[in-house]
Structure 1
Amino acid sequence: MTIQPGQRVPSVPIKLVSVDGVSDVSSADVLGSGTVVFFTVPGAFTPTCHLNHLPGFVENVERFAMAGVDRIVCGTVNDQHVVKAWAEATGALGKIDFIADGLAKLAREMGLERDLSGGGLGIRFIRSALIIEDGVVTLVNLETVPGEVSGSGAGAILEALSAERHQAIG
């Protein structure tokens, strides 16, 4: 079952790829503190992920910070070497942190997995974006059309953050 608002993020071993290098940590260590935007992609360097999904978050890092986001994290079911190369190639390293979930343990625990074995890709994350407050999910946006970035894109998440702030104030 897909993780829902009000649920805590699971704690599973992952590889964190950041400006500091690659480290073995738990998903709860990465996603469990402060306001986190966590978006998931089917694969590093894949066309939609590379050209349409990741760039919006990289281009809007400052806007996310102004909206109160402490950390932007991209999750993908790729090994840490591929993820690091992708982060460097896109200029995202140092702006966004990456979770390399090579065995899809986090994807499965969060109910965000999709079997793309028919296309030779195996188990992958579905395309999604979540807002997480101190380890508790407050928003889950899933894409239902392959190759589409709408509800999980940077613009939609910035709008959701703005709406959350207005609700908190009102």
Structure 2
Amino acid sequence: MTIKIGEKIPLVNLFTMTKEGPRPITTSEIFANKKVVAFGVPGAFTPTCSAKHLPGFIRLGNKIKEKGIDDIICISVNDPFVMGAWGESQNAGDMVKLIADGSGEFTKATDLALDLTHRGFGVRCQRFVMTVEKEVVLSIAVDKSGKFELTSAETLLGTL
């Protein structure tokens, strides 16, 4: 079952890219004692993710943070080098932290996996957005495969 409102974020290991290289980071480090917007995308550098999803959160990041959000993170089943390069190419800066779920641990533990093997992608993350406070899910929306309707920065901003 997909993670639900009121449930705690599972403890898994993820990675972020730093100037020194990939750095391990746990979900506890990301979500503890903070209010965080996390959104997931099927893949870095893919059309909808690069043209709409990530750019929307970069563009509206300040407005989202004005609503009491401490951090905005983007999660994808990609390696930290790819996520770092994608963040640079999109000028994400410090507005959106790009988090690599290279082994799909978070994606599987939250039941947000999407099997795109038939399209040559393997198992990826469904397109989702959630608000998490102190490691507990406050809200979550998941788009149907191939859609971009419920998870945009604009839609999220209207719910905060």
Could you state the TM-score of these two structures normalised by the residue count of structure 2? 0.95
What amino acid is the match of 2:4?
Answer: Q
Residues 1:17 and 2:24 aligned together: no
Contact 1:14 1:24 in 2 (8 A): yes
Q: Offset at 1:34?
A: 1.2
Q: Secondary structure at the match of 2:17?
A: strand
Q: Note closer, same or farther for the CA distance 1:137–1:19 as it changes in structure 2 (3 Å cut).
A: farther
What amino acid is the match of 1:43?
Answer: G
Pairwise CA RMSD: 1.4
What amino acid is the match of 2:67?
Answer: A
What amino acid is the match of 1:160?
Answer: T
- Distance in 1 (CA, whole Å) between partners of 2:49 and 2:127 is 9
Q: Secondary structure at the match of 1:82?
A: helix
Residues 115-143 of structure 1, C-alpha deviation per residue, up to 9 Å, x if partnerless? 10011101100000000011100111000
Contact 1:39 1:129 in 2 (8 A): yes
Q: Which residue of 1 aligns with 2:153?
A: 154
Q: Offset at 1:41?
A: 0.0
> Percent identity between the aligned chains?
33
- Distance in 2 (CA, whole Å) between partners of 1:31 and 1:149 is 25
Q: Offset at 1:159?
A: 1.1
What amino acid is the match of 1:28?
Answer: S
Q: Note closer, same or farther for the CA distance 1:58–1:136 as it changes in structure 2 (3 Å cut).
A: same
Where in structure 2 are the equivalents of 1:111-150 lying within 5 Å?
A: 111-146=111-146, 148-150=147-149
Q: Which runs of 5+ in 1 are unaligned?
A: 162-170
Q: Which runs of 5+ in 2 are unaligned?
A: none
Q: Offset at 1:19?
A: 7.5
Where in structure 2 are the equivalents of 1:1-170 lying within 5 Å?
A: 1-17=1-17, 22-146=22-146, 148-161=147-160
Residues 10-54 of structure 1, C-alpha deviation per residue, up to 9 Å, x if partnerless? 111110236886311111211233110000000000000000100
Range that drifts further, 93-102 or 36-45: 93-102
- Distance in 2 (CA, whole Å) between partners of 1:152 and 1:20 is 32
- Distance in 1 (CA, whole Å) between partners of 2:20 and 2:111 is 29
- Distance in 1 (CA, whole Å) between partners of 2:65 and 2:42 is 25
Q: Which has the larger share of helix?
A: 1
Could you state the TM-score of these two structures normalised by the residue count of structure 1? 0.89
Q: Secondary structure at the match of 2:94?
A: coil
